[in-house]
Amino acid sequence: AGTAADGPERIVVIPGDGIGKEVVPAAREVLEAVGPDFEFEEADAGDAVKAETGEALPEETRDLAANADATLFGAAGETAADVIIPLRRAVDSFANVRPVRAYPGTDALQPGTDLVFVRENTEGVYAGHESEIAPGVTTLTRVVTESASEEIARYGFEYAAERGSRVTIAHKANVMRTTDGLFLDTARRVGAEYDVDADEALMDALAMHLVQRPEEYDVVVCPNLAGDVLSDLAAGLVGGLGLLPSANVGDERALFEPVHGTAPDIAGQGVANPSAVMLSAAMLLEYLGYDDAGERVRSAVTATLESGPHTPDLGGDATTSDVTEAVLAKL
């Protein structure tokens, strides 16, 4: 990614549908407040644009994301898959990074949860080759390559090495012997280059262990669908998707999004919790090299979660803008 020396970074902001429209602007205020001289561009995606234009992800939005230094996305409704999968591809992201923590203010089933999923973001069942090969008989070609496995494993081990943490490699190589076998062998080989403790877990056994002892896990490197399911499972342990940020990381650009959806039940009321997208903005800052600014945002958000004000999802009666003001005041 570029640095400030190359001129201002271009940030594309895509609020999307539902509460995306309320929380993304709040996160943009926070980004503006911490200072880097970003150039913002706003773009559309989601159910509403589709209803108007027939396209959930307009060509123009895709192109903006494909050329920006970073994109901040809110949420999309029914069209989520049609928006997020092409956007992940547009930014050439290979890693989907999902920190799952029991943030202060969360009523967590497992308060010791503090781990990061590093999910392969390009292939597996998401490679998307499906067909009806005979009436009533359908197939999907799951793809696993050594190059993508190597890239995600390297990202996971680098990430763990920087933080002094452990890696767990998730797989189902006892059944998917060739494909997950390749994923596992490659991750083992990459792991051997790092001075990082690592172990391996079958994804089914891991699902059980994550529920029972999440505190034993640090960085979990996963194939695409395994990462999808296991990270949502872990979100359940910390009280839901409401506070969780994520990053779709590529070499040149990246896409940041809260893990939550459009929350149609509360959309339009101005009471959505902006924390998850603000924490995603903190990841964006760090991705672009503004580590201090990123840390300032994360600290201000966690301090506000701890002290309040709280939006209704956390049992309070504050509005999105009450929370945003509190975060801005703490920066």
The structure tokens listed for 176 are 């998917």
Q: How far apart are CA 49 and CA 68, in angstroms?
A: 21
In the bound state with a copy of itself, the residue whose beta carbon lies nearer, of 3 and 174, is: 174
Select from 35-43, 47-55, 140-148, 304-312 the region that touches a copy of itself (CB under 8 A): 140-148
Cβ at position 286, least distance to a copy of itself in Å: 26
Q: How far apart are CA 168 and CA 188, in angstroms?
A: 10
- Look up 199 and say whether it is catalytic: no
Kindly tell me which of 1 and 125 has the beta carbon lying closer to a copy of itself.
Answer: 125
Among a copy of itself, ligand IPM, none, partner that 24 touches (CB below 5 to 8 angstroms by kind): none
Whether 76 contacts 17, CB under 8 Å: yes
For ligand IPM, the closer of residues 17 and 228 by Cβ is 228
- Write the interaction track for a copy of itself spanning residues 216-255; mark x where CB under 8 A is met and - where it is not: ---------x--xxxxxx-xxx-xxx--------------
Contacts to ligand IPM by CB under 6 A: 80-81, 84-85, 174-175, 204, 228
Cis peptide before 309 (omega within 30 of 0): yes
**170: three-class secondary structure by DSSP:** strand
Q: Please report how close the Cβ of residue 231 comes to ligand IPM at its closest, in angstroms.
A: 7
114 is an interface residue for a copy of itself by CB under 8 A: no
- Is 251 an annotated catalytic residue? no
Given a contact cutoff of 8 angstroms between Cβ atoms, the answer to whether 324 and 65 are in contact is no
Pick the piece of the chain touching a copy of itself (CB under 8 A) from 7-15, 89-97, 174-182, 291-299: 174-182
Give the contact letters, 147-166, x = binds to a copy of itself (CB under 8 A), - = no.
x-------------------
CB 274 within 8 A of CB 23: yes
Catalytic residue among 17, 69, 180, 228: 228
DSSP string for 100-124 = EE--TT---SSTT-EEEEEEE-S-E
Cβ proximity to ligand IPM: between 43 and 203 the closer is 203
Q: How far is the CB of 225 from a copy of itself (least distance, A)?
A: 7
Burial class (CB in 10 A: 0-12, 13-18, 19+), 240: middle
Token pair listed for 211: 């529920």
Find which of ligand IPM, a copy of itself, none residue 210 binds, CB within 5 to 8 Å per kind: a copy of itself
Q: Put the strands of the sheet holding 219-222 in their side by side order.
A: 39-42, 10-16, 70-75, 254-258, 245-250, 93-101, 114-120, 219-222, 167-171, 198-202
C-beta atoms surrounding 270 within 10 Å = 13
Amino acid, res. 8: P
Shortest separation between residue 260's beta carbon and ligand IPM, angstroms: 10
Q: State which residue, 233 or 331, has the beta carbon closest to ligand IPM.
A: 233
Is residue 313 annotated as a catalytic residue, yes or no? Answer: no
Taking the CB of residue 319, how many other CB atoms lie within 10 A of it?
A: 17
For binding to a copy of itself (CB under 8 A), which residues are involved?
80-81, 85, 109-110, 125-126, 128, 130-132, 135-147, 172, 174-179, 181-182, 203-205, 207-212, 225, 228-233, 235-237, 239-241
